[in-house]
């Protein structure tokens, strides 16, 4: 049996209310005030938590990486990511705003220094699907002993099983796997809650791990109750704030 996982006093488990994470990401555009407004929008919308991204371009890409076709931007991916970095000295301000608004502060981490910088301010960590097979980082985060939400959108079942095994070797059992839709914005027909059931059935190491569903939209949309309740113990949604 998997352990009871709580984040901010909320149980992440089938049969309990869906834990809603508002996705702020890197949409602060380098402005602290805008980041704070994203938190306010998440709180006003009734989200349980708001999540930012914490990374350093130098830890992700060499300066010679070139451009990214995915981003459809002529600039180099290194320069784009460097511009999107969140300053570490924002962390106490963002955490304080979250406390004021009654939402939990969360962050996706991409390197060990960012893990250490974020650790004092969060009750749980998030690991992005692109880092799911970065096993040294997964182990480093797991050893903090906090709940970890791990996206699986770009991985196959064998990779998910290997990462779960490596995570558990640290002694931390508080892992939530998140089924992602790696398309931005996600088309309306994309939400699928069947993969968690398939993983529980077909992989011997995954069945007792918590699963959740992730779906991003650039505009509000309704999902069927079947999509939102079946295995959806947690669910991030993108924040849309008026300017």
Alpha carbons within 13 angstroms on the beta-carbon side of residue 134 total 18
d(CA 216, CA 218): 7
Domains defined for the chain, CATH in brackets? 17-182+190-215+226-238 (3.20.20.70)
Does position 69 have pLDDT exceeding 80, yes or no? Answer: no
- Please check whether residue 164 is in contact with residue 139, taking contact to mean a CB–CB distance below 8 angstroms: no
At a CB cut-off of 8 Å and minimum separation 6, what does 131 contact?
Answer: 110, 137, 138
pLDDT at 186: 61
The span from the CA of 119 to the CA of 97, in Å, is: 17
User: What global pTM score does this model have?
Assistant: 0.80
The radius of gyration of the chain from alpha carbons, rounded to an integer in Å, stands at 17
- Mean pLDDT is lowest, of 11-20, 98-107, 206-215, 222-231, for 222-231
Return d(Cα 162, Cα 109) in angstroms, integer: 20
Measured CA to CA, the distance from residue 122 to residue 106 in angstroms comes to 6
Give the separation between CA 112 and CA 109, rounded to whole angstroms: 8
CA distance 63 to 79: 8
pLDDT band at residue 187 using 50, 70 and 90 as cut-offs: low
**Structure tokens given for 21:** 């994470």
- The position carrying tokens 């959806």 is 232
Please state whether beta strands 6-7 and 10-11 pair in parallel, antiparallel, or not at all (unpaired). antiparallel
For 174-186, write each residue's pLDDT tens digit. Answer: 999 887 666 656 6
Pairing, β 175-179 against β 148-151: parallel
| DSSP-based three-state secondary structure for 18 | coil
pLDDT band at 83 (very low <50, low <70, confident <90, very high): confident
Pairing mode of beta strands 210-213, 175-179: parallel
Compute the mean pLDDT over every residue in the chain, rounded to the nearest whole number: 79
In the chain, what is the greatest distance between 2 CA atoms, to the nearest angstrom?
50
pLDDT at residue 232 is higher than 70:
no
DSSP 102: T
- Joined tokens for residue 187: 């088309």
> Counting beta carbons within 10 angstroms of the beta carbon of residue 188, is it exposed (0 to 12), middle (13 to 18) or buried (19 or more)?
exposed
Buried/exposed code over 199-237 (b: 16+ C-beta within 10 A; e: otherwise): beeeeeebeebbbbbbbbbeeeeebeeebeeebbbbbbb
């Amino acid at each position: 049996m998997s352990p009871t996982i709580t984040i901010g006093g909320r149980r992440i488990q089938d049969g309990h209310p869906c834990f809603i994470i508002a996705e702020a990401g890197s949409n602060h555009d380098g402005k602290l005030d805008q980041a704070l407004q994203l938190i306010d929008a998440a709180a006003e919308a009734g989200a349980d938590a708001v999540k930012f991204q914490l990374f350093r371009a130098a830890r992700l890409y060499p300066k010679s990486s070139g451009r990214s076709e995915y981003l459809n931007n002529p600039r180099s991916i290194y320069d784009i990511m460097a511009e999107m970095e969140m300053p570490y000295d924002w962390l106490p301000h963002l955490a304080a705003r979250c406390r004021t608004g009654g939402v939990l502060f969360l962050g996706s981490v991409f390197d060990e220094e960012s893990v250490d910088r974020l650790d004092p301010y969060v009750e749980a960590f998030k690991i992005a699907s692109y880092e799911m097979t970065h096993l040294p980082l997964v182990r480093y985060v797991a050893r903090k002993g906090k709940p970890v939400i791990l996206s699986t959108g770009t991985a196959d079942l064998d990779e998910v099983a290997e990462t779960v095994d490596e995570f558990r070797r640290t002694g931390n059992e508080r892992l939530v796997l998140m089924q992602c839709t790696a398309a931005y914005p996600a088309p309306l027909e994309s939400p699928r809650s069947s993969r968690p059931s398939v993983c529980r059935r077909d992989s011997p190491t995954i069945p007792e791990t918590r699963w959740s569903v992730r779906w991003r939209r650039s505009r509000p949309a309704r999902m069927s109750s079947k999509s939102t309740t079946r295995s959806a113990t947690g669910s991030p949604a993108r924040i849309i704030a008026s300017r």
